[in-house]
Amino acid sequence: MKKKVNIYKLPKVNSWDEFYANRSWPPVPKHEQDVLFKNEFLGKYPKGTSLLEVGCGDGKWSAILSSRFKVTAIDNSANAIKEALALCKVRKINNVEFLCGDALNAEGQYDIIFARGPSFLNFPSADVRFVSNFKKLLSLCTQEVIFNIASRTPFEVWKPSGLLTPLADVDSPNSQWYHHDPEILKTNLAKLGAAHISYEKHKARIYASVKV
C-alpha cells in the first residue's frame, strides 16, 4: 500500500518515476474541482471539447475531466502513466488516451490545454524559460490554456519544499520550488494573450488561463 502524502512534506526523491513508484497524490480536492469547472475556466466549454492534460500524473484529474471532455493526457513519467491506466481500469473509464512523453515536445491541436500543478511551469518561473514553455502550450491549442498551481508568500523566491528538483532545473542547482506572484504572473501572461487570474490566498492556489 502506498503512503499518502502531504505535498509540503514530501521526502526528497530523484525523479517523478521514483515518486510514482512509492507514493500517491491525495484525492482531487473538491474545492479545486469546483473552481475549475466554473464558467470562467472549464465550465464554458461544451461536452466533447477536446482537451490535452499536460503533466497528468496518476490520472486522478484525467478521470474527472473525462466525464465532460475528450481527454488526451500526457506525462513523461512511465510510472505515472502506469498508475493512471490502472486507475481508469478500476473506475471503468475507457475514453482517455494516455501518452507517455514530454509535454513540451507534444504535437497536435486541442481545444483546451489543461494542467494542474505543472512542475515545468514552476522551475524557475518569471523568466525566459517559463515564457517559452508557456508559448509551447499555447501552440498546441485552439482556445485556451487553463492551469492551477500552488503558490504562497513569500512569492518569487525559491523554497526548499522537499519536492524533487527536476532535470529541467539543472542550471539552478540550489532551487527546489518556486512560488508565483499572482500579479507578476498576470503581467507576464497578459503579454501572451487574454489572461485571467484568480488567486486564493487562504488555499495558497492560483487558477489561471490564457486565451489563444
Ligand X SMILES: C[S@@+](CC[C@H](N)C(=O)[O-])C[C@H]1O[C@@H](n2cnc3c(N)ncnc32)[C@H](O)[C@@H]1O
Q: How far is the CB of 76 from ligand X (least distance, A)?
A: 4
Stretch that binds ligand X, among 90-98, 101-109, 124-132, 197-205 (CB under 6 A): 101-109
Least distance to ligand X from the beta carbon of 84, Å? 9
SS3 130: helix
Grid coordinates given for 212: 489563444
Nearest C-alpha neighbor of 186 from the set 113, 122, 126: 126
Binding status of residue 97 toward ligand X by CB under 6 A: no
CB distance 196 to 185 below 8 Å: no
Burial 47-79 (b: 16+ CB within 10 A, else e): eebbbbbbbbbbbbbbbbbbebbbbbbbbbbeb
The CB-of-80 to ligand X minimum distance in angstroms stands at: 5
Contact region for ligand X (CB under 6 A) — 43-51, 100-108, 178-186, 199-207?
Answer: 100-108
Residue 121 binds ligand X (CB under 6 A): no
Q: Which of 41, 61, 130, 178 binds ligand X (CB under 6 A)?
A: 61
From the CB of residue 29, how many other CB atoms can be counted at a distance below 10 Å?
13
- Binding flag, residue 71, ligand X (CB under 6 A): no
C-alpha torsion 172→25→104→124, nearest 10: -20
120 sits near ligand X (criterion: CB under 6 A): yes
Among 93, 104, 126, 131, binds ligand X (CB under 6 A): 104
Which residues contact ligand X by CB under 6 A? 16, 25, 54-57, 60-61, 74-77, 80, 102-104, 116-120
